[in-house]
Structure 1
Amino acid sequence: MFTLADARPGLIERALDEGLHVLAEKPLGSDAAQEERLLARIESSGRLVVVNLFNRNTWYHQFMIDFVRSGQLGRLVSIEAVHLTPDLLPTEGHQPEGPPFRDCGMHYVDLVCWYAGSDFAEWDARGLRLWDWPDPWWVDVHGHFRNGTLFRIAQTFGYGQQAEQVAARSQFEVVGSHGVVRMRHDFAEVIVECHGRSSTVQRAGPYQGKRLDVLAERFADVIEGRAVVDLPSAADSVAAARTAEEMLCAARRRSTAIGTAADLDKALRYRAALKQQGRAFPEALLT
C-alpha cells in the first residue's frame, strides 16, 4: 500500500477482508487515533501486515546492529540520529503524512528504539517554526529509554533550502561503555566505523535507497515458510508514529519562529526552479 496516508487504512482493511497479507508504507494513517483503530483490526485478522520502516532493510544498519548485539560496545550509553535534508516545503503535497517529524522523523524514532531494545521513558522536545509556519519544520528531541540509554534525534526538511548546490547531513551513532559505532552518508556513499572492545572495522558501500526489494523478499520468505525473520510490524509502525506525534506536539508547544511567509514563497520558487533543472533534493545527490 504505497498511497498517501489518508488512503491507506481503507485499502488495508479491504485487503484484510479478502484474506490477504499486506506490505504497506508508513505511516499507516493520518493520525494516531486512526492508526490505533486500524492496528486493532490488523491484530485480530490473523494476517501478516509488514510496514516499510526502511532503515531496518539497509545493509549498513543490519551490519551495525549485529555489531552492537555482539557485545563489542559493552553496555549501551547513548544513541544519536541526525537527519537534515532540504526536502518538501510546507504546501508541497505533504499534508496527509503530517509535518516532517511525524512522517520522516518516525523512521528515526523507530530506529533509536530498535537499537536500544527498550521503550522511551521521557524526553524534552524543541521545535523551530521555519518561515513562521504553524508546524515546526525542524525538531530536536533528547531523553532516555527505560533501560537508561540516552538518545537524541534531530530532523528537518529545512536544511540549506536555498543553497546554490543542495546538501544534506545524515549520521547515526551508538556509544557503549566499551566502544562506538557510527555511520554517515550523503545519499550516494555510506561510511560505517565500528570501534569495539576487540574489533575495529570500517565499511563503505552504496546508499541504495530504501531497499524495498529486501523487505519484499523477506516478507515473501516468511509468508511461504522459508525463514523466520524479524520484520517491522504494524505495531512497530503505530508505536513509532504515535511517539513521533507526541514529540512533535511537545516541540510545537516549545517552538520559536524564524523567517516569514515571504521567505517561504522565495524558498518555494527557488526549489521549483531547482526541480526544473534536476538540481533539487534528492535527485541532485543521487546522481
Structure 2
Amino acid sequence: MPDLHLGLAGVGRIGAMHAANIATTAGVARLTLADVDAGRAGTVAASLTGGTAEVRATDGVESLLRSGIDGLVIASGTAAHPELIRAGVDAGIPVLCEKPVAPDVASSLPVLEHVAARGGVVRIGHQRRHDAGYREAKRAFDAGELGWLHAVRAVTCDAAPPPVAFIATSGGLFRDCSVHDFDVLRWITGREVVEVWARGSNNGDPEIGRVGDVDSALAVCTLDDGTLAVVTASRYNGAGHDVRLELQGSRGTLLVGMDDAMAVRSAEAGVSFPAGPAHTTFAERFAAAYRAEVAAFVALVEGTGEDDLCRPEDAVAASRVADAAQDSLVKGVPVQVEPLA
C-alpha cells in the first residue's frame, strides 16, 4: 500500500472532520494541516496523535504546498476555494475541494478554465454520492427497477440554524443546503434541470431575514424530460437532521433515508417505526459517506479504484441550479436554468 502524504487546507468544523477521517484512511502515512489560524491547525493536529497517519501542522498554505504532499484536500471558507484549487493544480497534485468551486457560478467558470488548461485533477466534495442509500437509489434507477420517474422529492432540513454570521455569507439556503439535492437530482436521473420556481419564508429568527436569507424554502424543478422534482429545505427542523430522497417511478418507489434514525414519527396507531433517536447533524447523518469520499480520493491519488468523485463541471452545474432557485426566490417567478457550456 502506498504511503501517501496528504495536505489539508482549512480545519474548521468540516476540516477537522476531514482531518480525523484522513488520519485513519488506509494508504495515508502523513497528513499536514494548514489554516488561517495556525493555532487551530496545531490544536487539531495534536488531537489526532492516535491515528494511523503522522499528523502535523504547518504555518500556511504556501508552506503546505512546499512540504511534498501528494494530494490536497480543501475545506477552507468558500471565498478561498478558487485560489486554493488553482494552487493545487499549479503544484501538479490532485485536489479534493469541499463544495462549491467558488461563491457563485460566474467566479467558478475561470476556475474550470484554469483546471482544463493545465490538465488538473480536481474533484468536488458532494458526499451524498458516497452515501449507501443514494448509491442504491442510483443503481436501482439505472437498472430500470423503478421504471420512468413521475415525481422526485428531496428534503434537506437542519435541526437548528447555524450562526447568523455564517448564514450572512452562505449565499442563501438554496446554495448552502439544497445544492446537494440539485447535485443528486442530476447525478441519479442523468437529466438537467431546465426551470426552477421557488418560494421561501421566515418564521424563526428575524435576523436571518435581515441578512437576506430565508429559514425555509421550496423549489419546484422541471427536468429536461418533463419530470417534476420538489426540493425543500429548512433551518428549523426540531425533529432532527432530516435528509431524504424519494423517487416515484412507473414501476416502483424508493426512499433514501428511511431508517430508524429518520427524523419523523408516524401518526398511525401501532406503528413504532422509526425507533430513533434521530440524526442531529449532517456530520452524523453522513459520517460513513464522508469516510468513503476520502477513501475514494486516496484511491484517485494512488491511481487505483473507480474514480466516482464529483467532477468540478458537475458541481458548477448544480450551483447553476441553486443560483436559479435563489433568483426565483427573489423575483417570485419561474427562472430558466441556462446550460453549462
TM-score of the aligned structures, taking structure 2 as reference length: 0.63
How high is the sequence identity, in percent, across the aligned residues?
A: 25
How far is the alpha carbon of 1:190 from its aligned partner?
Answer: 6.0
CA distance in 1, matches of 2:309, 2:136: 16
**1:147-186 aligned within 5 A:** 147-160=225-238, 167-184=240-257
Match among 112, 128, 143 for residue 185 of structure 2:
112
- The aligned counterpart of 2:291 is 213
Match among 272, 290, 307 for residue 229 of structure 1:
307
The answer to whether the Cα contact below 8 Å between 2:241 and 2:285 also exists between their aligned partners in 1 is no
Match among 213, 217, 220 for residue 135 of structure 1:
213
The answer to whether the Cα contact below 8 Å between 1:85 and 1:156 also exists between their aligned partners in 2 is yes
Moved more, 57-66 or 221-230: 221-230
How far is the alpha carbon of 1:210 from its aligned partner?
Answer: 6.0
- The aligned counterpart of 1:34 is 107
**1:1-287 aligned within 5 A:** 1-89=74-162, 91-130=164-203, 131=206, 132-133=209-210, 134-160=212-238, 167-184=240-257, 189=261, 207-209=285-287, 211-254=289-332
What do the CA deviations read for 1:68-127 (whole angstroms, capped 9, x no partner)?
A: 211111112221101222333462324443222201110011111212211112231112
Query: Secondary structure at the residue paired with 1:6?
Result: helix
What do the CA deviations read for 1:217-269 (whole angstroms, capped 9, x no partner)?
A: 222323433233332111111111121021012112239xxxxxxxxxxxxxx
Give the number of aligned pairs. 237
How far is the alpha carbon of 1:159 from its aligned partner?
Answer: 3.0
Question: More relative contact order in 1 or in 2 (CA 8 Å, sep 6+)?
Answer: 1
TM-score of the aligned structures, taking structure 1 as reference length: 0.74
The answer to whether the Cα contact below 8 Å between 1:86 and 1:157 also exists between their aligned partners in 2 is yes
Question: Relative to structure 1, is the Cα distance of residues 251 and 208 closer, same or farther in structure 2, using a 3 angstrom cutoff?
Answer: closer
How far is the alpha carbon of 1:179 from its aligned partner?
Answer: 0.6
Query: Secondary structure at the residue paired with 2:257?
Result: strand
The answer to whether the Cα contact below 8 Å between 1:137 and 1:156 also exists between their aligned partners in 2 is yes
> Which runs of 5 or more residues in structure 1 are unaligned?
161-165, 192-205, 256-287
> Which runs of 5 or more residues in structure 2 are unaligned?
1-73, 264-283, 334-341
The answer to whether the Cα contact below 8 Å between 1:183 and 1:190 also exists between their aligned partners in 2 is no
